[in-house]
Structure 1
Amino acid sequence: MTTLKIDLVSDIACPWCAIGYARLQQALASLPDLSVELEWHAFELNPDKNAAQEPILPALSRKYGRSEDEMRAAQANMMNVASELGLNFDKMQQRFTCNTFDAHRLVKWAATDNKATEMKLALFDAYFGEAKDVSASVVLADCAEQAGLDKSEAERILATDDFANTVSEDIAKYQQAGISSVPAFIINNKYLISGAQEPAQLAQALQQIAGESA
């Protein structure tokens, strides 16, 4: 069996990152002779911790220079894609913008217990499925508990600067590497796959890379 190392650069606030991971899982399910070592890396779509939170549709409208109706239609399309993948995006149009730095700190902490993916998925579900504020400590601690982690330890970490340097270094590293949009899949420290590719396309790319790495 061939094992690939996948560094997945993503943000909790990025719906395509949730979709991209789900599509990766589908791609891997079609490749039984391939295994992966996955590591999550931080990216911030809203890096200003002091920015006021605002409803997502007008925020996206301003960011992309498109009408709210256009953004609503685009979000509805993503909701359909997510539903087909079994993801809960029920309240993605009701969410507010938020900074995800503390959420990334908990993902780094969860990685020390091999539960980074569980933490990430709990955060995606809270933000897109329930429109919860994933910058709020109480929400983050609940997500940690849902991921099978110790809630009181999560609360302790959130009250400190633990893992802050790790997250900052992570963000800087991939910015310097030229990653400007997410999701970004870096395979074996050599190949870059950008965006939430369809499962069949992703499987084909992984199979080709595995063949070259064999």
Structure 2
Amino acid sequence: MTTATTATTASAAPTLKIDFVSDVSCPWCAIGLSALEQAIERVGSEVKAELHFQPFELNPQMWAGGQEITEHLSQKYGSTAEQQASIRETIRQRGEAVGFTFRMEGRDRIYNTFNAHRLLHWADVEGAPGQQHALKKALFTAYFTDGKAPESSDVLLDAVRSAGLDDRRAAEVLAGDEFAAETREAEQMYLNAGIHSVPAIIFNDRHLISGGQPVEVFEQALRQLAAEAA
């Protein structure tokens, strides 16, 4: 009887819904996701994490072909090339610490990411469990590690295939406007909720952690929320 009770208790880990609001062209989002993944691994069977990736565009008005990144950041934030180089090195080191590779020299342009978000929404609706997560990671890798343009249909479809999703169905989505309205609605919902920078990680629709935090911050939050749920 004791053994059976213990087994039942061990299998009843609380489920945490995690909405990861981010853009595929946001380096701190890639860092934050890698840190969150490691935190989830650390807590192990104490919690069951349900990850959902929600859209946020850093540059919704960006034109086709994108903009040279130094020019873009100088115009948007007033930063100098030297300041940007320092920040890129900080990002590279933070990524390395959580196992994500930034090859910043290959990322010389900022692109529109709306179609990437449409595909992520599609993957959440029509994909199998875990495939939206895999697509998000593939998109981060394509841009930040491989220096590819996330506005390119070929790049997007390569990411779809690497995530095990149906590339023919994805091509249909890209050829039309499926999931455009739903994606814009979700973007607006998070803007209306006061989210104006990413990553924003929302636990159970109530608790927010902002930024690419260290693994320990996410681990502490997961353990605390799991204890409260238990």
TM-score normalised by L of structure 2:
0.88
Residue correspondence of structure 1 range 51-200 to structure 2 within 5 A: 53-91=66-104, 94-111=107-124, 112-113=126-127, 114=129, 115-200=131-216
Tell me if 1:14 matches 2:26: yes
Once the two structures are superposed, residues 20-57 of structure 1 have per-residue CA deviations (whole angstroms, 9 ceiling, x without a partner) of: 01000111121121121111100000101436622212
Match for 1:164: what amino acid?
A: A
Match for 1:17: what amino acid?
A: C
Give the one of 40, 47, 55 matched to 1:42: 55
- Quick check: which has more Rg, 1 or 2? 2
**C-alpha contact 2:23 2:58 (8 A) present in aligned 1:** yes
Unaligned runs of 5+ in 2: 1-12
User: Deviation at 1:139?
Assistant: 1.4
Counterpart residue number, 1:24: 36
Once the two structures are superposed, residues 49-108 of structure 1 have per-residue CA deviations (whole angstroms, 9 ceiling, x without a partner) of: 436622212311322212111111101111122123221311466331111100001111
**C-alpha contact 1:6 1:185 (8 A) present in aligned 2:** yes
Tell me how far apart the structure 2 counterparts of residues 208 and 103 of structure 1 sit (CA, whole Å): 33
**C-alpha contact 1:92 1:128 (8 A) present in aligned 2:** no
**C-alpha contact 1:8 1:38 (8 A) present in aligned 2:** yes
Match for 1:175: what amino acid?
A: L
**C-alpha contact 1:92 1:127 (8 A) present in aligned 2:** no
Tell me how far apart the structure 1 counterparts of residues 212 and 107 of structure 2 sit (CA, whole Å): 23
**C-alpha contact 1:82 1:89 (8 A) present in aligned 2:** yes
Tell me how far apart the structure 2 counterparts of residues 138 and 91 of structure 1 sit (CA, whole Å): 21
Counterpart residue number, 2:10: none
Moved more, 29-38 or 81-90: 81-90
Tell me how far apart the structure 1 counterparts of residues 147 and 70 of structure 2 sit (CA, whole Å): 13
Once the two structures are superposed, residues 127-178 of structure 1 have per-residue CA deviations (whole angstroms, 9 ceiling, x without a partner) of: 1011111011121111111111122222121001011111111101100111
Secondary structure at the counterpart of residue 30 of structure 1: helix
**C-alpha contact 1:184 1:192 (8 A) present in aligned 2:** yes
Unaligned runs of 5+ in 1: none
Tell me how far apart the structure 2 counterparts of residues 149 and 91 of structure 1 sit (CA, whole Å): 28
Tell me how far apart the structure 2 counterparts of residues 134 and 143 of structure 1 sit (CA, whole Å): 10
Secondary structure at the counterpart of residue 201 of structure 2: strand
More helix by share: 2
Give the one of 211, 214, 221 matched to 1:205: 221
Once the two structures are superposed, residues 172-203 of structure 1 have per-residue CA deviations (whole angstroms, 9 ceiling, x without a partner) of: 11001110110011111111111111111211
Tell me how far apart the structure 1 counterparts of residues 155 and 81 of structure 2 sit (CA, whole Å): 28
**C-alpha contact 2:106 2:146 (8 A) present in aligned 1:** no
Moved more, 51-60 or 40-49: 51-60
